[in-house]
A = this chain, B = another copy of it.
Amino acid sequence: MSRAYNFCAGPATLPEAVLRQAQEEMLDWRGTGMSVMEMSHRSDDFVAIAEAAEQDLRQLAGISDDYAVLFMQGGASSQFSTIPLNLLGDKGSADYVNTGIWSKKAIAEASRYADVNVVASAEANGFTSIPDQAVWQTGADAAYLHYTPNETIGGLEFDFVPDSGDVPLVADMSSTMLSRPLDVSKFGLIYAGAQKNIGPSGLVVVIIRKDLLGKARRETPTMMNYQVIADNGSMYNTPATYSWYLAGLVFKWLKAQGGVEAMAKINDRKARKLYDFIDGNDFYANPIEPRFRSWMNVPFTLAEDALNSEFLKGADARGLLNLKGHRSVGGMRASIYNAMPEAGVDALIDYMAEFAEEQA
């Protein structure tokens, strides 16, 4: 078939222009006679590719020189241990907000290294709303406050940045990074697995305020020590060079679209029209309190679960792929990251309308 509309939550669809460029450059990057994936990471060519990617990301996300930008491996899941190992310092506890499955995973891993204080949990409301910060029970001496701005599975997204006072704020932005403007200066550390809004899997971007470097616990594996990675420009060992290059192509593409301000307008429009359609059609439902609905991951259910298979089959036939929801939530989920064209959302809505009508 031609290119499908792929609504997978991650690894996710990439901009077609990025894939075309990667395709064109596969055997011979700019007359070097080799693919980027065959280049020494210490070569002038690759170092230039890597530095351009970092600079473009800094410009897109507004990252000042107070922060180091690291291109690491192991995904966000590795960060779940890397963060407490590096940031606890001489403190024994950390604050975590529980808003869904990814928060819980971060909490479980941190609990192996620290006393985790869950300052607030959305469990009581079935993970459909974010508890107001006024009722959060922050710890007395937390090393940091961790939260998950966008829950990829539940489709629950913060519409505010928590105020953590002097405590460093740490955020898993895997599925929201670069979807809209962000005030990085409010954060101590931001991390994002690449395979949603940045590039292929196997790369995780870490943005860390430089004063938080150098506090790693003695038992921290060297490859997880932020200071070591920062001191070596993310090349303490061979990094995931090809993923880094592709991330750089995505950043260039984002700049060409007008940056995160332009993406925010498009993403707002894409999400709004999909939620509006769901709310306006009795056949579909989304349980999340409207102000906390994710721009990136839109879960929805059909009036009858028994129709799920038929819905997915019809979607597949139209090239609307990977709409099945996570098993823990059920129903459907449409992930509509930066690289999902608005036409993909329109095609999905058309199909949803048609399917609902057939059942009426």
Residues of A participating in the B interface, judged by any CB pair closer than 8 Å: 1-4, 6, 8-14, 16, 19-20, 22-23, 26-28, 31-35, 37-41, 43, 73-78, 80-82, 85, 109, 112-113, 193, 195, 200-203, 218-219, 221-224, 236-243, 246, 319, 321-322
Q: Are A41's CB and B11's CB within 8 A?
A: yes
Q: Are B6's CB and A33's CB within 8 A?
A: yes
Q: Are B26's CB and A77's CB within 8 A?
A: no
Q: Provided the pairs A20-B27, A35-B14, A193-B238 are in contact, do residues A74 and B223 lie with their beta carbons within 8 angstroms?
A: yes
Quick one: copies of this chain in the complex? 2
Q: Which residues of chain B are near A41, meaning CB under 8 Å?
A: 11, 201
Q: Which residues of chain B are near A203, meaning CB under 8 Å?
A: 202
Q: Which residues of chain B are near A26, meaning CB under 8 Å?
A: 19-20, 22-23, 26
* Distance in angstroms between the alpha carbons of A39 and B6 in the assembled complex: 9
Q: Provided the pairs A4-B34, A19-B26, A222-B81 are in contact, do residues A238 and B10 lie with their beta carbons within 8 angstroms?
A: yes
The CB with the most chain B CB atoms within 10 A, among A37, A75, A82, A200, is that of: A37
Q: Which residues of chain B are near A37, meaning CB under 8 Å?
A: 11, 14, 200-201, 246
**A200 CB contact (under 8 Å) in B27, B28, B242:** B242
* Distance in angstroms between the alpha carbons of A193 and B113 in the assembled complex: 29
* Distance in angstroms between the alpha carbons of A319 and B322 in the assembled complex: 44
User: Shortest distance in angstroms between A66's beta carbon and chain B's nearest beta carbon?
Assistant: 27
A–B complex contacts, Cβ < 8 Å, 28 sampled? A1-B28, A1-B31, A2-B33, A6-B34, A8-B38, A9-B40, A10-B40, A14-B35, A16-B27, A33-B319, A33-B321, A37-B200, A37-B201, A37-B246, A73-B78, A73-B240, A74-B74, A74-B223, A75-B238, A76-B237, A77-B223, A78-B237, A202-B202, A202-B240, A219-B219, A221-B224, A242-B242, A242-B243
